[in-house]
Structure 1
Amino acid sequence: MAFTRGTGKHRGPSRSARATRNLAGIATLAASGVVATVASPALAAGNPDEANTHDTGFHQAVVLGDELAEQIEAQADAQQEAADAAAAQAKAEAEARQQAAEAKRKAEAEAKKQREAEERAAREAERKRLLTYVAPVDGSYVSTSYKASSGLWSSGSHTGIDFHADSGTTVHAVGSGTVVEAGWGGAYGNNVVIKMNDGTYTQYGHLSSISVSVGQTVTPGQQIALSGNTGNTTGPHLHFEARTSAEYGSDMDPVAYLRSHGVNV
């Protein structure tokens, strides 16, 4: 039975196989006269005895060819190992870059998601703030009620409510809206009228000074004036009205109006 030996990817033939090929190649060259010079003198003279004992020329050629083949094989193996190592390193670097890019993409997506959530929360908070109502004077109380009867008012009854306030007390817009009147208002003295975002109107009278102008938008709690004692009044306070229009006579209950918007008065 004949046996065969498998060779590796870069494994050269066995030493005996290489020797056989080298001998065959040298024999061919000898036949053509190429290696005649490497043969011993005995061979050249045609002495059979000398040829049997001094055939070192063929033997040396075989050994040299075998060593060269082994060197070439070793060099090829080293080059392949270097190429494999370079390929492995390149693959690892490519995978690292891909992982870094994916991590960056995920981080950017998460940051964007977080920003969007914060922006939504901020918009919602601002929306709620703009819908909020507050009292026109902090820490005060109603000193004269709505529809109170007195000869002090031309209509015979009070068209708003009075908040207790010394002169110079900060007066706030009760909600979001646009100023439609800011100046002298006859019996109301210095006054401000605001068209609220819900279409109603609020009025602030007897002011000592005004800090807004017509056309200006205001937000809940924004300072619009200082309370005072101007116009038809018996002392410093803030007169506050809620109306369905900017005109006198369209008044509605200011306490009910404020309470309907969450203000405790």
Structure 2
Amino acid sequence: MAFTRATGKHRRPSRMTRRSANIAGIATLAGAGVVGTLSSPAFAAAEPVAATVEDTGLNAIVVADTLAEQIDAQAQAQQQAADAAAAKAKAEAEAKKRAEEAKRKAEAKAKAEREAKERAAREAERKRLNTFVSPIAGSYVSTAYQAGGAAWSSGSHTGIDFHAASGTSVRAVGMGTVVEAGWGGAYGNNVVVKMNDGTYTQYGHLSSLSVAVGQSVTPGQQIGLAGSTGNSTGPHLHFEARTSPEYGSDIDPIGYLRAHGVNL
């Protein structure tokens, strides 16, 4: 003889057992089409109290499912926010990197351009300093080198004369240092410059001086004004080229200037 578990007042069915039974019963009724038709007063009287979570377990399942969906949705939202923040941070980092690279290139370009300009300026200055000019701009030779006559104590002209009105600007023909500036006897007011190549140039009969001994001069720099001081018959510039500062070491001034690129 088989024994069954006691029920009734001696042992109440467990909660899980009742919930399972209720779910199974509801499923059976639904399958038989009964749930949808149970609206008669007799059924209402037989079931006066609505099913609770403890009675059926359906509400608990629905609540649990809803809570799980909310947790999943929240987790997804948090993940999306984290992904968006990471993407934004990455984009900002890349933008910053591109900006820094562009800045570096711009600075490198500006530096290269600046250095190129500085090199060009230095080269232009080097050329200028190595360039020779005529002692009087736009003038011409009025008396040739070694011209003879009683006007010169040596019997010949030791330099060349440039036509110039009194007060005309007289320029250093090249870069050098002033070794004499003042009265020069027959030369009147004169300036002697030791050139950078070791030669000397002399400028005589000046009405006034613009430089002093020891001063450096550059090509085209004014050293005085033309005049008619000393042994002179009228305003002009007497120009000499020498191998030393001493009288008698003169060389052909026209050949000297032409050798340095000055056409007369």
Task: Report the TM range for the smaller structure's normalisation.
Answer: 0.7 to 0.9
SS in structure 1 at match of 2:67: helix
SS in structure 2 at match of 1:103: helix
2:99 aligns with 100
2:77 aligns with 78
In the alignment, structure 1 residue 234 sits paired with structure 2 residue 228: no
Alpha-carbon distance, 1:188 to partner: 0.5
* Counterpart residue identity of residue 67, structure 1: T
1:41-120 correspondence to structure 2 within 5 Å: 45-46=12-13, 51=18, 52-53=21-22, 56-120=55-119
CA deviations on 1:47-101 (whole Å, 9 max, x unpaired) are: 99x9444663533332222221111111001000000000000000000000000
CA deviations on 1:5-37 (whole Å, 9 max, x unpaired) are: xxxxxxxxxxxxxxxxxxxxxxxxxxxxxxxxx
Alpha-carbon distance, 1:214 to partner: 0.7
* Counterpart residue identity of residue 221, structure 2: Q
* Counterpart residue identity of residue 134, structure 2: A
Q: How far apart, in 2, do the equivalents of 1:47 and 1:244 lie?
A: 133
- Normalising by the residue count of structure 1, what TM-score does the alignment of the two structures yield? 0.79
CA deviations on 1:167-213 (whole Å, 9 max, x unpaired) are: 11111111111111100001100000001111111000001000111
SS in structure 2 at match of 1:107: helix
SS in structure 2 at match of 1:115: helix
CA deviations on 1:115-163 (whole Å, 9 max, x unpaired) are: 1111111111111111111111122111111111112222111110111
1:167 aligns with 166
Q: How far apart, in 2, do the equivalents of 1:235 and 1:168 lie?
A: 12
1:11 aligns with none
SS in structure 1 at match of 2:80: helix
Q: How far apart, in 2, do the equivalents of 1:111 and 1:47 lie?
A: 88
Q: How far apart, in 1, do the equivalents of 2:228 and 2:14 lie?
A: 149
Change (3 A) 1:47 1:129: closer
2:186 aligns with 187
CA deviations on 1:203-238 (whole Å, 9 max, x unpaired) are: 000010001111111111111111111111122111
1:250 aligns with 249
Q: How far apart, in 2, do the equivalents of 1:46 and 1:234 lie?
A: 150
Alpha-carbon distance, 1:45 to partner: 4.4
TM-align CA RMSD: 2.0
1:128 aligns with 127
* Counterpart residue identity of residue 104, structure 2: R
SS in structure 1 at match of 2:57: helix
1:217 aligns with 216
Alpha-carbon distance, 1:111 to partner: 0.6
SS in structure 1 at match of 2:121: helix
Change (3 A) 1:47 1:111: closer
1:205 aligns with 204
Aligned length: 222
- Percent identity of equivalent pairs: 72
SS in structure 1 at match of 2:208: strand
Mark the runs of 5 or more structure 1 residues left unpaired by the alignment.
Answer: 1-41
Mark the runs of 5 or more structure 2 residues left unpaired by the alignment.
Answer: 1-8, 23-50
